[in-house]
């Protein structure tokens, strides 16, 4: 009954294309042969497929986050704040998807993971270059990280460029200065390869924005978009840490990090510190 019902419905759709001998299909457009053949297990354990797919999905979302944040940086530099808001709002939605991915991975038990963990060798999510690009555009930069990617000169060059480029918060501060706020020159001309440290002039500027929302509506929206992104990012970091703790406890990571210990440390870092500090002072 059900099959006949849907069969009749399909037949009634006279415009549906079925001849693709010389036309591009959905699979062709998305290059699904390449995408779906990339999940190659190194063990015969059933759950390794889960582990690979979760990380593949996360890397695809990271690719889109990079695309959107880089677009937002360029838009802010052009003074097109409204255009940047759409991109930054999309980033927050993407982040919610990546956070939920940890819920799926947490169905992997310690015993199951240990069945294939040794197959990873020293490979680790710690080495994800896309994750580093996200950190760089958010302003968190540590020089030793670049050493990981020296084996690939082309990739190293991409990371090196991002490492020395202004991040999302840098261009937001520049937008404050363009609006007439007296930002310290040392902040505006700082070395962008250094992790940003909070500044009193930036705090005073954001405080004025948040106390005069109607006057500085665009800058206020920008501030809130940045807070959204940092909030979601910290939630992602927390879920990452708890998922790792749930699956491997306090073992050293496959990449050599302290595992849970390292993940707990980065939870204390703020990308946009003044935007959090002013909430106490408003």
What is the pLDDT, as a whole number, of residue 268?
A: 85
Mean pLDDT of the chain: 92
Using alpha carbons only, give the angle 187, 189, 194 rounded to the nearest 5 degrees.
70
User: Is residue 69 part of an annotated ligand binding site?
Assistant: no
What is the pLDDT, as a whole number, of residue 144?
A: 82
* Rounded CA separation 197/204 (Å): 15
What is the pLDDT, as a whole number, of residue 61?
A: 97
User: Is residue 247 part of an annotated ligand binding site?
Assistant: no
* Rounded CA separation 151/155 (Å): 9
What is the pLDDT, as a whole number, of residue 256?
A: 75
Nearest of 238, 255, 55 to residue 145 by alpha carbon: 255
**Share above pLDDT 70 across residues of the chain, in percent, rounded to a whole number:** 96
Q: What is the dihedral of CA 140, 143, 144, 146, to 10 degrees?
A: 90
Question: Of the given ranges (69-83, 145-159, 250-264), which has the lowest mean pLDDT?
Answer: 250-264
**Share above pLDDT 90 across residues of the chain, in percent, rounded to a whole number:** 79
User: Is residue 240 part of an annotated ligand binding site?
Assistant: yes
What is the pLDDT, as a whole number, of residue 202?
A: 98
**205 is written with which tokens?**
């500027």
pLDDT band for position 3 (50/70/90)? low
User: Is residue 52 part of an annotated ligand binding site?
Assistant: yes
* Rounded CA separation 275/202 (Å): 9
Are 230 and 269 in contact by the 8 Å Cβ rule? The answer is no
Task: Using the predicted structure, report yes or no on whether residue 28 has a pLDDT greater than 70.
Answer: yes
Torsion region of 79: left, alpha or beta (phi above 0 gives left; psi -120 to 50 gives alpha) = left
For residue 17, CA distances in Å to 4, 6, 139 come to 20, 17, 48
Task: Using the predicted structure, report yes or no on whether residue 12 has a pLDDT greater than 80.
Answer: no
What is the pLDDT, as a whole number, of residue 75?
A: 98
Torsion region of 249: left, alpha or beta (phi above 0 gives left; psi -120 to 50 gives alpha) = left
What is the pLDDT, as a whole number, of residue 145?
A: 84
Average pLDDT over residues 241-265: 85
User: Is residue 254 part of an annotated ligand binding site?
Assistant: yes
Residue for token pair 């310690």: 110
Task: Using the predicted structure, report yes or no on whether residue 1 has a pLDDT greater than 60.
Answer: no
What residues contact 51, with CB distance under 8 A and at least 6 apart?
105, 108, 113, 116
User: Is residue 117 part of an annotated ligand binding site?
Assistant: yes
Tens digit of pLDDT for each residue in 139-182?
999 888 888 899 899 999 999 999 999 999 999 999 999 999 99
What is the pLDDT, as a whole number, of residue 251?
A: 86
**75 is written with which tokens?**
């838009």
User: Is residue 54 part of an annotated ligand binding site?
Assistant: yes
| 46-280: in CATH 1.20.58.480 | yes
Task: Using the predicted structure, report yes or no on whether residue 14 has a pLDDT greater than 90.
Answer: no
What is the pLDDT, as a whole number, of residue 10?
A: 58
Burial class (CB in 10 A: 0-12, 13-18, 19+), 131: middle
Task: Using the predicted structure, report yes or no on whether residue 65 has a pLDDT greater than 70.
Answer: yes
What is the pLDDT, as a whole number, of residue 275?
A: 98
Task: Using the predicted structure, report yes or no on whether residue 255 has a pLDDT greater than 80.
Answer: no
């Amino acid at each position: 009954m059900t099959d006949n019902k849907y069969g009749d419905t399909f037949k009634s759709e006279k415009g549906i294309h079925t001849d693709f001998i010389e036309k591009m299909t959905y699979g062709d457009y998305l290059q699904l042969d390449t995408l779906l053949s990339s999940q190659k297990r190194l063990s015969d354990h059933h759950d390794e497929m889960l582990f690979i797919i979760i990380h593949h999905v996360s890397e695809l979302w990271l690719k889109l986050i990079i695309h959107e944040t880089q677009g937002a940086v360029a838009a802010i530099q052009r003074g097109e704040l409204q255009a940047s808001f759409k991109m930054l709002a999309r980033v927050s939605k993407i982040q919610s998807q990546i956070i939920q991915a940890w819920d799926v991975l947490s169905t992997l038990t310690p015993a199951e993971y240990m069945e294939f963990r040794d197959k990873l060798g020293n490979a680790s999510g710690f080495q994800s270059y896309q994750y580093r690009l996200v950190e760089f555009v958010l302003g968190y930069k540590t020089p030793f990280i670049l050493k990981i990617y020296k084996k690939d000169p082309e990739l190293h060059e991409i990371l090196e460029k991002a490492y020395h480029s202004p991040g999302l918060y840098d261009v937001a501060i520049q937008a404050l200065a363009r609006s007439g706020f007296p930002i310290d020159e040392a902040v505006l001309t700082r070395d962008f390869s250094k992790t940003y440290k909070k500044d009193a002039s930036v705090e005073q500027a954001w405080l004025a924005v948040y106390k005069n929302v109607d006057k500085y509506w665009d800058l206020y929206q920008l501030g809130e978009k940045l807070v959204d992104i940092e909030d979601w990012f910290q939630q992602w970091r927390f879920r990452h840490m708890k998922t790792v703790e749930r699956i491997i406890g306090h073992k050293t990571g496959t990449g050599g990090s302290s595992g849970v210990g390292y993940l707990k440390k980065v939870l204390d870092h703020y990308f946009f510190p003044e935007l959090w500090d002013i909430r106490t002072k408003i």
